[in-house]
Amino acid sequence: MKRLLIIKTAILILFVLAYSVWSASPRPAAAQNGMVVSSEPIAAGIGLQILQDGGNAADAAIAVAAALNVTEGCNSGMGGGCFILIYWSETGQVFAIDGRERASINAHRNLYINSADSTVIPGLSTEGVTAVATPGEPAALAMIAKKWGKHPWKKLIEPAAALADTGFILSRTYAERLIYSRERLYQYPSSREIFFPGNDTLPYGFGDRLVQKDLAKFLKKLSKQGIDWFYNGGFSKTLSDYITENGGYLTADDLKTYKAVQRQPIRGSFRGYDIYSMPPPSSGGIHVVQILEMLEPFYLRYWEPGSSEPLHIIIESMKRAFADRAYYLGDPDFVDIPLDGLLDSTYLADHRSTIKPHQASNIPGAGILPARESSETTHFSIIDSKGNMVAVTASLNTSFGSAVILPGWGLLLNNHMDDFSLQPGAPNYYGLVGSEANAIEPGKRPLSSMSPTIVLKDSKPAGIFGSPGGPKIITTVVQTFLNIVEFGMDVQQAVDFPRVHHQWKPDVVFVEDGIPTDVLVNLQAKGHRIYQAGLWSSAQCIWIDPETGLITGGTDSRSEGIAAGY
Ligand code: DON
């Protein structure tokens, strides 16, 4: 009897330990009419206001994206790119908008290669104007404004301009980013001027007011003159002159010929849910669907969430998807991606059949290479009172992008050239490798992992998912979705639950803090190499109860966001 009591107590303690992370999550925010979930509360508030003023989800998305250029300018903005997924309730269709940056028409395969020894020249694709690709976010936002927006463009950009003009109080996250990137930013006088008070070598800190008058001027002009001014007017000349005069590649012609592209979303299914996600040039949609469809027959729900058995199978599926990523994917306007093959059920069944239940597989070619943690980039999810849904993931790539602010205009410029496989086989900032499919070509878009995802059930809104995190975006979206649909968590618990990540190369399982030691030991016993990597990503998700229509929002406790509904 006593022994039984001890065993029962031990089980209870283990149960409490295993669940402590997500049981500590607050309840998800709930709303009846509409919701904005973002990692930055001021921008979310602006989006919510647009919804309450009768704007739709597309209107709110434009306003939130513009506001994030101000309040979370280290992550995304008009100097970068974005991917947008839209579900339009009137027609029941899902659309994918590609606002990915594009390489200059003067770029070429060996742009960043040292001809003497064929190695990548460090820094050229990540720092300064040489790293900048043609921005796509303004074009993508203008496209959704034109196709779906109700409010005038001006009204949607103006709140951001006002915010830049009066300033806002720096959050802890933004202040930490400034400290982390201070040396990169300090070297460019135009960036120094904005982020460093006086001649101080320390940037503005937590609680300081960051005023961005030049950015306010830029946003005001953009609000009045629209994107023609950006791509084919006064601004395009200023931007391209600055870049070319300083040794970069982007020209006025690159801006003039840039177009956002409407593409067919990737579609998959899991337990009766229809999943729509971003197609190439993002790898996101293909691999989210590949991983989920590989996993479906395993019935992971029979195990405890976060225990080593389901984690092992999830990790093995990730590995296989990322090996495909490295080999096949690139810009679909330049390379033939075997889309049907990669998503074919027999192909995925083949992948699945090689997963051994008790042993980590060695996928040829995977080696140990460094990879970094980060949650730059931003994702936000919006639903309006008509059930229209918008998922946006937007980015400058790494924190503060190229670290260059366009003098006089306050606009941070991206460093998305680094997402190409600069030298096929050599890892990029995120430790990702790629093949010739993602090599630089003139006018090509670099491969991405951004995965804005929309889920329907019986043709009705069910969920919106997305996150920053480089390659970890894909695995974050997969796990957040599984946590709800397979493991029965609410959306807040789902985004908070500790995550794992495998990207084929390096051959290690990245594990977050909060995964119990016995689980790690069990994974090691199966042959996995464990790398404890702190915390990553910042999922900003919405889940809708199919029966009641109740909207619930989960904002990642790893960042300082908000789920704001009404
Ligand atoms: O497009 C991509 O996949 C990356 N440039 C996104 C960068 C990112 O998420 C940075 N945050 N960790």
pLDDT at 213: 98
What is the C-alpha separation between 393 and 378, in angstroms, rounded?
Answer: 6
**Averaged pLDDT for residues 10-28:** 55
Q: 472 C-alpha to center of ligand 1: Å? A: 9
Q: What is the pLDDT of residues 149-185, one digit of tens each?
A: 999 999 999 999 999 999 999 999 999 999 999 999 9
| CB 412, CB 129: distance < 8 Å | no
> Separation of 112 CA from ligand 1 center, angstroms?
20
pLDDT at 95 over 70: yes
395 close to ligand 1 (CB < 6 Angstrom): yes
Q: From atom 8 of ligand 1, which residue's Cα is the shortest distance away?
A: 470
Is residue 449 lining ligand 1, measured as CB closer than 6 Å?
A: yes
Residue keyed to tokens 């959306």: 491
Ligand 1 atom at shortest distance from the alpha carbon of 467: 9
Higher pLDDT, 30 or 366: 30
Residue 212 or residue 429, greater confidence:
212
Flag whether pLDDT at 7 surpasses 70.
no
Nearest Cα to Cα of residue 254 among 145, 103, 398, 401: 103
Cis peptide bond prior to 281, omega within 30° of 0: yes
Residue owning the nearest CA to atom 2 of ligand 1? 448
pLDDT at residue 427, rounded to an integer:
81
Going from the C-alpha of 91 to that of each of 94, 95, 460, the distances in angstroms are 9, 11, 11
Atom number, ligand 1, closest to the C-alpha of residue 536 = 12
CA 348 to chain CA mean position, Å:
25
Cβ atoms of 381 and 451 closer than 8 Å: no
pLDDT category of residue 501 using cuts at 50, 70 and 90: very high
pLDDT band at 376 (very low <50, low <70, confident <90, very high): confident
Residue whose CA lies nearest to ligand 1 atom number 6? 470
Rounded to whole angstroms, how far apart are CA atoms 555 and 180? Answer: 24
450 lines ligand 1 (CB under 6 A): yes
pLDDT per position as a tens digit, 384-410 = 999 999 999 999 999 999 999 999 999
Q: Which of 378, 473, 538, 556 has the most ligand 1 atoms within 8 A of CB, as the residue to mutate? A: 473
- Predicted confidence at residue 14, as pLDDT, reads 41
How far, in Å, is the centroid of ligand 1 from the Cα of 136? 15
Number of alpha carbons in the 13 Å side-chain half-sphere of residue 246: 19
Catalytic residue from among 126, 134, 377, 476? 377
For the cut 90, the answer to whether the pLDDT of residue 73 exceeds it is yes
Question: According to the model, what pLDDT value does residue 432 have?
Answer: 82
pLDDT of residue 362: 85
Is a pLDDT exceeding 90 seen at residue 343? Answer: yes
Q: What is the mean pLDDT of residues 369-394?
A: 85
Helix (H, G, I), strand (E, B) or coil at 472: helix
Nearest atom within ligand 1 for CA of residue 373: 12
Name the band, by pLDDT with cuts 50, 70 and 90, for residue 2: low
- pLDDT for 19: 42
Q: What is the mean pLDDT of residues 469-487?
A: 98
Please indicate whether residue 377 is annotated as part of the active site. Answer: yes
Quote the CA–CA distance of 73 and 413 in Å, as a whole number: 10
Helix 308-328 to helix 345-353 angle (10° resolution) is 130
pLDDT given for residue 524 in this prediction: 98
Q: Distance between CA atoms of 297 and 514, rounded to whole angstroms?
A: 28
Q: CB under 8 Å to 80, separation ≥6 — which residues?
A: 101, 135, 136, 137, 394, 395, 396, 397, 401, 412, 413, 414, 416
Is the CB–ligand 1 distance for residue 468 below 6 Å?
Answer: yes
Structure confidence at residue 136 (pLDDT): 98
For the CA of 449, the closest atom of ligand 1 is 3
Closest C-alpha to 81, from 40, 147, 138: 138
- pLDDT at 447 (0 to 100): 97
User: What percentage of the chain exceeds 90 in pLDDT?
Assistant: 88
pLDDT at 15: 39
Question: How far from each other are the two terminal CA atoms of the chain, in whole angstroms?
Answer: 53
- Grade residue 336 by pLDDT with cuts at 50, 70 and 90: very high
Residue of 97, 144, 95, 87 lying closest to 459 (CA atoms): 87
Atom of ligand 1 nearest to the CA of 418: 5
Q: How far is the CA of 436 from the centre of ligand 1 (A)?
A: 20
Cβ atoms 485, 270 nearer than 8 A: yes
In tens, the pLDDT along 120-133 reads 999 999 999 999 99
pLDDT digits (tens, 9 = 90+) for 412-436: 999 999 999 998 778 888 878 778 8
More confident call, 546 vs 34 = 34
Q: Where are the beta strands (DSSP E) in 199-277?
A: 209-210, 261-263, 266-270, 273-277
Give 380 Cα–ligand 1 centroid separation in angstroms: 14
DSSP state of 260: -
pLDDT of amino acid 363: 80
Q: How far is the CA of 116 from the centre of ligand 1 (A)?
A: 31
Cβ–ligand 1 contact at 503 (below 6 Å): no
pLDDT the model gives residue 20: 43
State which of 277, 395, 536 you would mutate to test the pocket of ligand 1, scoring each by most atoms of that ligand within 8 A of its C-beta. Answer: 395
Match 């074919």 to its residue by tokens: 344
Question: Average pLDDT for residues 513-539, to the nearest whole number?
Answer: 96
